[in-house]
């Protein structure tokens, strides 16, 4: 994802990639993004006077340290989703941002998918009524935890996948979460010495009485025609909104397979990076340069982390209900 984001920044007329940090940055082929310095750590990169903003594209569990180093150096920060994998880290990031007076955003790029944005506008119009139920599925083929990411044992399908859907449903519903019940299933991946659940299903109750179910699994067989089997269904008083991401407007049949190639999040049109990921990254650049608040607030991203932390507590307690403490939910509702 760092390369995807860098492509969006290096091709945008308002931004440029000037430095990279990472254990393999010095040996990586980064020529396509223009001339740039490399550093071993984010703390070193943050001291570079030519750097105005830092994009944190580390694994889920490793967001807080580089983000806090960048903020301490007075840099704006864009952080891959989720904001952090603990409420304590998420709150520390927000406190540092407020003290430094910089701009920060978690990169929940699904908000820039045109259909998802259109759904938000329809809900905001008020003609659909109040929310009742939501069901969100985001399931991956087993190639993701076994080959695509080498740190699957340090995350879960809920952190890696459901974080997107939780952000979307909270954005759509505009309500505060109050209780979570969740269950994890572990059979396939632990048999491959990857100590993480195969699937997590959770139910979140909101303060207005609405309920959302989140399903995340990443052990589909690789023969499944899409890497991600995903949809969000929203039931309101006077409407049902169904957002399907399994088929992304393209079907290709060859002698080897029938495919639905993904293109909503990442694509290229006329050689230029496109899709919701590029749109989200460029939005952040505009927010920094124009002094405008980014679309995804830190409060909304902390809310996602609070829900996910409660989900994992409920899984650890074998499906016991977990209250989301109101004291932890003190931030004003920003969606």
Cβ contact 157:200 at 8 Å: yes
How high is the mean pLDDT of the chain?
Answer: 94
CB 310 within 8 A of CB 329: no
More confident residue, 81 or 257: 81
Which tens digits make up the pLDDT trace of 308-326? 999 999 999 999 999 997 6
Mean pLDDT across the stretch 249-267?
88
pLDDT on residue 329: 45
Confidence of residue 165 (pLDDT cuts 50, 70, 90): very high
Position of tokens 């307690």? Answer: 317
* CATH 3.30.360.10 assigned to 111-261+295-323: yes
Label each residue of 93-111 as H, E or C: HHHHHHHHCCCEEEECHHH
Consecutive H or E run containing 57: none
By the 8 A CB rule, do 312 and 158 touch? yes
The reported pLDDT for the residue numbered 260 is 86
The CATH architecture of the domain made up of 2-109 is: 3-Layer(aba) Sandwich (3.40)
Average pLDDT score over residue span 65-76: 98
Geometric angle at alpha carbon 156, from 151 and 161, rounded to 5°: 105
Confidence category of residue 152, pLDDT binned at 50, 70, 90: very high
330: confidence class by pLDDT, cuts 50, 70, 90: very low
Q: What's this model's pTM, rounded to 2 decimal places?
A: 0.94
327 compared with 32, residue with greater pLDDT: 32
Per-residue pLDDT for 328 more than 60?
A: no
Q: Which residue has the higher pLDDT, 3 or 246?
A: 3
pLDDT in tens, 219-251: 999 999 899 999 999 999 999 999 998 778 889
Domain map (residue ranges) of the chain: 2-109, 111-261+295-323
Identical fold for domains 2-109 and 111-261+295-323, yes or no, is no
| pLDDT for res 332 | 46
Token couple for 263 = 């293109």
Decide: helix, strand or coil at residue 199.
Answer: strand
Average pLDDT over residues 11-29: 91
């Amino acid at each position: 994802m760092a390369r995807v984001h860098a492509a969006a920044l290096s091709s945008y007329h308002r931004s440029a990639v000037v430095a990279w940090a990472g254990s393999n940055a010095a040996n990586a082929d980064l020529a396509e993004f223009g001339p740039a310095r490399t550093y071993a750590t984010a703390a070193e990169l943050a001291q570079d006077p030519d750097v105005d903003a830092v994009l944190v594209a580390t694994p889920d569990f490793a967001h807080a340290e580089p983000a806090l180093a960048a903020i301490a150096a007075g840099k704006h920060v864009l952080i891959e989703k989720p904001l952090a994998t603990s409420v304590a880290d998420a709150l520390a990031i927000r406190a540092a941002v407020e003290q430094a007076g910089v701009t920060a955003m978690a990169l929940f790029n699904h908000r820039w998918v045109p259909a998802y944005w259109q759904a938000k506008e329809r809900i905001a119009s008020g003609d659909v009524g109040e929310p009742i139920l939501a069901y969100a599925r985001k399931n991956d083929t087993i190639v993701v935890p076994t080959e695509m990411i080498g740190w699957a044992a340090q995350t879960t399908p809920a952190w890696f996948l459901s974080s997107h859907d939780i952000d979307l449903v909270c954005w759509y519903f505009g309500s505060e979460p109050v209780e979570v019940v969740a269950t994890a299933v572990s059979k396939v991946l632990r048999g491959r010495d990857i100590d993480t659940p195969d699937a997590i299903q959770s139910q979140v109750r909101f303060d207005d009485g609405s309920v959302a179910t989140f399903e995340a699994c990443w052990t589909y067989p690789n023969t499944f025609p899409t890497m991600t089997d995903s949809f969000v269904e929203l039931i309101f008083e006077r409407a049902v909104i169904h957002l399907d991401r399994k088929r992304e407007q393209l079907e290709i049949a060859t002698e080897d397979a029938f495919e639905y190639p993904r293109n909503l999040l990442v694509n290229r049109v006329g050689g230029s990076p496109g899709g919701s990921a590029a749109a989200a990254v460029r939005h952040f650049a505009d927010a920094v340069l124009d002094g405008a608040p980014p679309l995804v607030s830190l409060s909304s991203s902390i809310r996602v982390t609070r829900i996910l932390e409660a989900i994992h507590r409920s899984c650890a307690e074998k499906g016991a209900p977990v209250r989301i403490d109101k004291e932890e939910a003190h931030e004003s509702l920003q969606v």
